[in-house]
Each structure stands twice: as structure tokens, then as C-alpha cells.
Structure 1
């Protein structure tokens, strides 16, 4: 059974990068070494792995990666800190009242 990983990296500029891979160790090493000069993380090294989740279903892994990429910084940080109870409230849109 093949395992897929969705991961979040924290970059040197404090931004987050979310990705997917079937070999987490190799992919993190590639990010750290700057193997791909056109990648988001290349000029934002050093990077640090903040979170990862394992999947056996590649379609679910891809769906999860796309979902996390759309999340706000606060929501990603709640996930990283295992503060799952905060996720629903962080998903709600905030409206300004006059």
C-alpha cells in the first residue's frame, strides 16, 4: 500500500508552503537543498517541516492539499498546533457591522 503525505513547511520569510509527496524524506531534502530553482521555497530557505498527514488514497491527499492551500494563515497554524477545535470558527467569514 502506497502512502502519500500532505505537508506544511514554514519558510524563512515566515510564510507557509503546502505540498504533497509520496516520499516525505526525499521531498523535504529537495526543499532544503533547493533542488528546484523555480519552486516557491527556493528563495525562502531555510525551511522547516511544521506538519504532515499520511493518506493511503491519493485523491483524498490531493483534495486535502488543495483545501489547506486555500486556508488562512490562522487556520494553518491551528492545524499545525493540533488545535482542531478552532478550525470550524476560523473557517467562518467575518463580517463588518456598521
Structure 2
């Protein structure tokens, strides 16, 4: 799991398998549809390898207080 701080002080969290590769992709804007694309540069502020996805999900709920904001279909 990683947490990135975006340019305008917003945060993005995600599950990744290759931290160096994915961080490079976020920085270079490889995925124009991603949340971070218009919020670059980004800074990696947290990274941790969990043994399974259930641990990752439990940690994510702790970080967000159990709330998950629904994404708008409109950008």
C-alpha cells in the first residue's frame, strides 16, 4: 500500500506491487485518467508491504476512518 501527497496537499492511496515503477508512472503522468495526473508532482509519504489484501483493506479503513468517498462519474 502506498500513500502519495499530491501538489495541492490532497492525498491518494492505493495498492501497488512495484513501488518504484508505479511512483515513476505517477510522476511522469503515464495514466492521464488517474487521480494524480493533474495533481503532480506527487511525493511518496508512506509505503508498506502487507501479507494479504485483507490486511491492506483493514489498514485502509483505519486510515480513512472506515469511510470511503464514492467517486463521481463526472470529472
TM-score normalised by the shorter chain: which range applies? 0.7 to 0.9
Cα 1:17–1:29 shift into 2, 3 Å: same
- Segments of 4+ moved more than 3 angstroms: none
**Structure 1: unaligned runs, 5 residues or longer:** 1-5, 72-98
- Normalized against structure 2, the TM-score is what? 0.75
Q: Pick the structure with more helix per residue.
A: 1
Q: TM-score, normalised by structure 1?
A: 0.59
Aligned residues: 64
- For structure 2, the 5+ residue unaligned runs are 66-75
Higher strand share: 1
1:12-68 Cα offsets, whole Å, 9 max, x none, are 01101101111111110110011110100000000000011111213322x146423
